[in-house]
DNA sequence: CGGATAAATGGATACCCATTCACAGCACAA
DNA sequence: TTGTGCTGTGAATGGGTATCCATTTATCCG
């Protein structure tokens, strides 16, 4: 029983040199069909497969992509990760997961560990990159793609949806719906997604002559969103529409409105979110929201990574994919409104 | 700008040998404080960190755990993975993700790739292990833990909840609630979780003198569960209670009952699930279910892995954690019923 | 306080496993 | 016979750790 079968064992059995074996498993190398057959047969018999780690050492490519993510509670991330991982797998890469808070301290330590594994590339989902780290990756030639977050740094690629525009669309939609006391529940204010969505939303409101009636912050957290909603609707004059910076918080808010405060959505209050996670389409929530095209975003992320891996001189790219406003039942739909 | 800084560079700068550098980064090695300081200082100045891959090659341990999972659509898995990954990270391990269908063909190919990365251990979540693969891992000394699935093989560790008992509890609960036409919507019948839950449930019914009124199969899939629910409630005499093999399908069924068929849950039909994912507690569904203690399950999984890694002679373990029946509003609660 | 012995520490080198590169051998055509 | 192209070989390489041995330092005893 061969505990560990190496290329040398295969070479011995096939009666060739170790190099010959290596070439058989290296696409594009020059080997005669006869040797290739001999080697393959021996490899099969012995159950040989090349050791990826040893290979990485010499080739300098590990075929590992580091994925840093803060939390999976928001269903948008699992959906995206599944797609991301599948696509990378098709290309012969695999994902090494690193969970990190988005506090700079821990994130940096985690990133450093990432580099220890000699990853070929990094996907940072919902996590920022410190300047120092970016510098080190740049120096080591490791491409970084920010997923669902952007950052003002030319060295970083970023894939997001067009958050500003999306926010704006929601504002226009709510204005057209005749709402006059429009509130916003923000996520974590350090996130570019948050800032862009809100900026677009506020700009849209102002273009229509309105302002934010109230505003709360709940860090993309479900329970916090509930508290914020409770406070927001404790006064004598309640908002008649709420834009939650993501679907996850919108669900929390809807739950509070309907089940704690006995309000009706959308008759009493319209609620809109952002992401269009699967759950948003389920009839219990039936949430009007802006779709983030998770599949396309994942595809773009992998494409950027692959391009930069193929040619290190490729410039970092920023992609902001447009996502449609998805009309559902959680908000009053103006007559004749289609997009 | 040092493109790649190696132990040799650090050694040169610190004026010691490469071995000394290595020892400084190997916990438990014998180094004087003076040398350690010199080396650390040089390492910091150069930004040196040991190359995990190179280290793995010689030590034979990669500190990588392969995680195989079929899909993340069921929220139970993201919740578990987050916990799993966090705990492994604390122990200095990291998770390499492999997505696989549970069809044997693809699963085997994916598993083979897994082994190419010299993983130290494998967690198979919602995926079975072929005999051949188990054999090879056994031979290579790689411990395997099945997560949320069990298999009749002494070489495999498995962590599940006590699915049989859980199913039985649900049956007793529904019987006590006075239901008389009790249906079951099964997940994928190849899954041990499915079989155990159903077996326990059926045993519970029979102990109370009843049988399954109807039964459908929907492979743990949301859309399929909806179709099955539609068919199940198309006849003249509908079930008055449905046990769905997991929460995910229960949500689908509740949506169909309430929003397509206009039935009331629980007045017209009681619905119960299995898992107690976060969403089950949200008031929109408020689902009565059996909790799978995801945190404890993840902890147990990591513990088994660590034990076997520390001592290869440790026997594979099977853990079936008991989970409580969580009473909520989706099913009629009999008077005075507490557990 | 000197000397013997044990313990701690540093260094040289082989090794982990596969790829790459320079080079040699061979067959075949010119 | 020489030139050409394809194949295969051996050795170097990548970054680090384990082992063994030599050296230094510490400890103890007479």
- Three-state secondary-structure class, residue B176: helix
Beta strands across the sheet bearing A318-321: A318-321, A157-161, A144-147, A121-125, A64-69, A94-99, B94-99, B64-69, B121-125, B144-147, B157-161, B318-321
How many angstroms from the chain centroid is the CA of residue A206? 30
pLDDT category at B4 given cuts 50, 70, 90 is confident
CA of B60: nearest nucleotide by C1' is: C16
Please state at what angle helix B7-14 crosses helix B33-46, rounded to 10 degrees.
120
Question: H helices within chain A, ranges in order?
Answer: 7-14, 18-24, 33-46, 52-59, 76-90, 104-116, 131-140, 163-176, 192-207, 222-232, 247-255, 294-310
Q: Which of A286, A268, A269 is nearest to A277 (CA)?
A: A286
- Asked whether the beta carbons of residue A52 and residue B116 sit closer than 8 angstroms, the reply is yes
- Residues B120, B41 share a domain: no
Place of tokens 């269908």: B101
- Residues B36, B95 share a domain: no
d(CA A85, CA A102): 22
CA distance B283 to chain A (A): 6
Residue B338 lies in a domain: no
Residue A57 lies in a domain: no
Q: B75-133 pLDDT, tens per residue?
A: 999 999 999 999 999 999 999 999 987 776 788 888 889 999 999 999 999 888 888 88
B50 touches strand D (CB under 7 A): yes
- Residues B170, B285 share a domain: yes
The footprint of strand C (CB < 7 Å) covers A 4, 6-8, 18-19, 21-23, 25-26, 29, 48-51, 54-55, 57-59; B 16-20, 23, 30-35, 54, 57-58
Q: What angle do CA B294, B298, B300 make, to 5 degrees?
A: 115
The answer to whether A82 faces chain B, any CB pair under 8 Å, is: yes
Tell me the CA–C1' distance in angstroms for B124 and C16: 28
The answer to whether A76 faces chain B, any CB pair under 8 Å, is: no
- Residues B299, B264 share a domain: no
- Three-state secondary-structure class, residue B127: coil
Higher-pLDDT residue of A31 and B225 is: B225
Q: Encoding tokens for residue B60?
A: 């034979």
- Residues B209, B99 share a domain: no
Place of tokens 């031979």: B139
- Asked whether the beta carbons of residue B284 and residue A285 sit closer than 8 angstroms, the reply is yes
Q: Please, what is the average pLDDT of chain B?
A: 93
- Residues A129, A92 share a domain: yes
Residue B335 lies in a domain: no
Domain at B154, CATH number: 3.40.50.2300
d(CA B78, CA B99): 13
Residue A332 lies in a domain: no
Express as a percent the part of chain B with pLDDT over 90.
81
- Residues B278, B302 share a domain: no
Residue B334 lies in a domain: no
Q: B64-87 pLDDT, tens per residue?
A: 999 999 989 999 999 999 999 999
Q: Which domain holds residue B228?
A: 163-292
Residue A2 lies in a domain: no
- Residues B227, B152 share a domain: no
Express as a percent the part of chain B with pLDDT over 70.
98
- Residues A302, A157 share a domain: yes
Cis before A102? omega within 30: no
- Three-state secondary-structure class, residue A159: strand
- Residues A287, A225 share a domain: yes
The answer to whether residue B339 scores a pLDDT higher than 80 is no
- Asked whether the beta carbons of residue B255 and residue A283 sit closer than 8 angstroms, the reply is yes
Q: pLDDT at position A3, please?
A: 61
The answer to whether the beta carbons of residues A275 and A248 sit under 8 Å apart is: yes
d(CA A79, CA A76): 5
The answer to whether A283 faces chain B, any CB pair under 8 Å, is: yes
Give the residue ranges of chain A where pLDDT is below 70. Answer: 1-3, 339
CA distances from A284 to A46, A266, B281, B284 (A): 56, 13, 14, 6
Residue B336 lies in a domain: no
Domain at B44, CATH number: 1.10.260.40
Q: Do β-strands A318-321 and A157-161 pair in parallel, antiparallel, or remain unpaired?
A: parallel
Query: Which residue has its C-alpha nearest to nucleotide C20's C1'?
Result: A58
Nucleotides of D under 7 A from a protein CB: 6-11, 13-19
d(CA B124, CA B118): 16
Q: pLDDT at position B201, please?
A: 98
Q: pLDDT at position B225, please?
A: 97
Q: pLDDT at position A2, please?
A: 47
B285 touches strand D (CB under 7 A): no
Query: Which residue has its C-alpha nearest to nucleotide D8's C1'?
Result: A20
- Residues A305, A277 share a domain: no
d(CA B45, CA A50): 36
Q: Which residues of A24-51 are buried (b: 16+ CB within 10 A; e: fewer)?
A: bbeeeeebeeebbebbbebbeebbbebb
CA distances from B72 to A86, A311, B114, B123, B298 (A): 12, 33, 19, 15, 16
Residue A336 lies in a domain: no
DSSP letter (8 states) at residue A248: H
Q: Encoding tokens for residue B76?
A: 């139970």
- Asked whether the beta carbons of residue A113 and residue B94 sit closer than 8 angstroms, the reply is yes
Helix (H) or strand (E) holding B125: strand B121-125
CA distance B335 to chain A (A): 24
Higher-pLDDT residue of B14 and B167 is: B167
**How many domains does chain A divide into?**
3
The answer to whether B188 faces chain A, any CB pair under 8 Å, is: no
Cis before A266? omega within 30: yes
Nucleotides of C under 7 A from a protein CB: 8-13, 15-21
Q: pLDDT at position A260, please?
A: 96
- Residues A182, A260 share a domain: yes
Provide the CB-side half-sphere exposure for A118 (13 A, CA): 24
């Amino acid at each position: 029983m061969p505990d560990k079968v190496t290329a040398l064992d295969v070479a011995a059995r096939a009666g060739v040199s170790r190099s010959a074996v290596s070439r058989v498993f290296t696409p594009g190398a020059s080997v005669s069909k006869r040797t290739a057959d001999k080697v393959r047969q021996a490899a099969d018999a012995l159950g040989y497969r090349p050791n990826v780690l040893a290979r990485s050492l010499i080739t300098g490519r590990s075929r590992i992509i580091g994925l840093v993510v803060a939390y999976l509670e928001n269903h948008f991330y699992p959906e995206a990760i599944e797609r991301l991982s599948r696509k990378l797998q098709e290309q012969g890469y695999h994902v090494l997961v690193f969970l990190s808070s988005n506090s700079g301290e821990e994130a940096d330590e985690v990133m450093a560990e990432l580099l220890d594994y000699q990853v070929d590339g990094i996907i940072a989902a919902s996590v920022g990159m410190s300047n120092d780290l970016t510098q080190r990756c740049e120096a080591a030639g490791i491409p970084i793609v920010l997923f669902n977050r952007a950052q003002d740094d030319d060295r970083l690629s970023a894939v997001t949806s067009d958050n500003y525009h999306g926010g704006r669309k929601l504002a226009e939609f709510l204005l057209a719906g005749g709402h006059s006391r429009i509130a916003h529940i923000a996520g974590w204010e350090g996130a570019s997604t948050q800032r862009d969505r809100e900026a677009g939303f506020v700009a849209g409101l102002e273009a229509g002559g309105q302002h934010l009636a109230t505003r709360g912050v709940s860090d993309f957290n479900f329970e916090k969103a509930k508290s914020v909603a409770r406070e927001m609707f404790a006064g004598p004059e309640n908002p008649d529409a709420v834009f939650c910076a993501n679907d996850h918080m919108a669900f929390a808010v809807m739950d509070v409105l309907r089940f704690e405060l006995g309000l009706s959505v959308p008759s009493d209050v319209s609620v809109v979110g952002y992401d269009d996670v699967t759950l948003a389409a389920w009839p219990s929530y039936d949430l009007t929201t802006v779709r983030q095209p998770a599949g396309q975003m994942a595809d773009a992320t992998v494409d950027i990574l692959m391009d930069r891996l193929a040619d290190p001189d490729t410039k970092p790219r920023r992609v902001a994919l447009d996502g449609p406003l998805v009309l559902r039942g959680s908000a009053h739909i103006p007559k004749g409104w289609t997009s």
